[in-house]
Amino acid sequence: MNRDHQETGRRAESCVYLDYAATTPVAPQVAEAMSRCLGREGLFGNAASRPHRFGVEARTAVERARGQVAELIAADPAEIVWTSGATESINLAVKGAARGACGRGRHIVTSSMEHKAVLDSCVRLVQEGFEVTFVDPDFDGTITPESIERALRRDTILVSLMHVNNEVGTVTDIPAVGRLVREHGIVFHVDASQSAARLPLDVRQMRADLVSLSGHKMYGPKGVGALYARSSCPSPLEPQMHGGDQEQGLRSGTLATHQAVGMGKAAELARERLDKDAEATAALDRRLRDLLEEIPRSFLNGNQRIRVPGILSAGFACIDSEALLMALRDEVAISSGSACTSDRVEPSHVLNALRLSEKAIACSVRFSLGRYTTADEVGFAATRLSETIADLRQLSPGWAEEAMSGPQPRAQEPRWATA
């Protein structure tokens, strides 16, 4: 057994975890750093308490962690606001920036393939009288800077885009969008939840005013996140949480020392291991992709050339993704659409935004690999997947007919899927 698996306390042979885009396990180094904060001997003081040493110790730990998060994205520590997760960071960024800038205009630009936290924050703002343009990606899941530029208006106050899409893994050219957004003095928010442990991040190069991060998508704990808020952001952020005026008044509430320390340590590890992790994941991703392509009548969703390694969406003709997930549930953990909507079992809004047919969406699943994924796991998952698909197809009335219709073009841009 692989050492990393022993450290994370999970038996690899029992169920292979390929759902890193839904959440990542807490890295052992992170768990250790967090546990040092807990208990009577830990850093239990309130970071806002002064001048006693309990408060000072907690504050020192939280500030050190803030520095680690800042360093991951090349920001100044004073520009990092602790939150409870990317959902809260996004709410503060989108609603806070819109409400803070409403004197200058009421128009917002985002895309139809954003996370629900962005989409639903925008829907809320529409109810308050804001106007939102939801830009559709191309069929391959790319958002071009040109499509954003076309959507800008004289009264646009905010542009909000994700860096890496959590379902198909496509990467948006954030620096290019940032350049044109800044030229117009518009606030630019980037949801970097999926890119933080996968791609190098530099907020200046991105020309972002606001960047949302999530602890549990980068091997830190759940329930903590951060918002980068540029010191010279064109308009003030309206706080969403009121109380003790912590975090420069932007986010009241006693800081969770262990959570901040955990996210800080996770950020430090992500930075140290970025190249190594990215390289290993890229190799496993290529392997998985090759194995998936051997499965008859399979197709990949989204542009494969601008996809981040480790997030891969694939479909299999005549397979109901829910049935596939169910058949594999004790052996391989994958997901259909995004985890946040899978309990409602509605077609993925992201695949919908790519204009995939209902049929193609219903047979699509997402594989997401990460730091602890091994070649054995990928091999095992692909084998069991292939066998299970063959079994399910035997039971599918449509399959015989489908198989008779001859080979389909290898579907990078699945012709029958988007038709």
- Give the residues lining the site for ligand PLP (CB under 6 A): 85-87, 115, 117, 162, 166, 191, 193-194, 214, 216-217, 225
Backbone angles phi, psi at 222, to 5 degrees: -75, 160
Distance CA 285, CA 304 (A): 11
Q: Please report how close the Cβ of residue 191 comes to ligand PLP at its closest, in angstroms.
A: 5
Tokens of 24: 């990542």
Q: Which is nearer to ligand PLP, 43 or 218 (CB)?
A: 218
Q: Please report how close the Cβ of residue 22 comes to ligand PLP at its closest, in angstroms.
A: 8
Q: How many residues does the chain have?
A: 419
Contacts of 3 (CB under 8 A, 6+ apart): none
Handedness of CA 215, 221, 222, 227 (dihedral sign): negative
Q: Which is nearer to ligand PLP, 56 or 278 (CB)?
A: 278
Q: Please report how close the Cβ of residue 227 comes to ligand PLP at its closest, in angstroms.
A: 11
The residues annotated with a catalytic role in the active site are: 340
Q: Which is nearer to ligand PLP, 110 or 194 (CB)?
A: 194
Tokens of 4: 């990393």
Say which DSSP state 47 is in.
T
Residue appearing with tokens 């392509």: 293
Q: Please report how close the Cβ of residue 395 comes to ligand PLP at its closest, in angstroms.
A: 34
Q: What pairs with residue 17 in β-bridges?
A: 333
* E-only strand ranges, 80-209: 80-83, 107-111, 131-135, 156-162, 187-191
Q: Looking at this protein, which amino acid is placed at residue 13?
A: E
Distance CA 368, CA 379 (A): 14
Distance CA 238, CA 40 (A): 37
Q: Which is nearer to ligand PLP, 115 or 366 (CB)?
A: 115
Q: Which is nearer to ligand PLP, 20 or 316 (CB)?
A: 20
Half-sphere exposure of residue 66, counting CA atoms within 13 Å on the CB side?
A: 22
Q: Please report how close the Cβ of residue 223 comes to ligand PLP at its closest, in angstroms.
A: 8
Q: Please report how close the Cβ of residue 73 comes to ligand PLP at its closest, in angstroms.
A: 15
Tokens of 170: 């496509």
Q: Which is nearer to ligand PLP, 87 or 142 (CB)?
A: 87
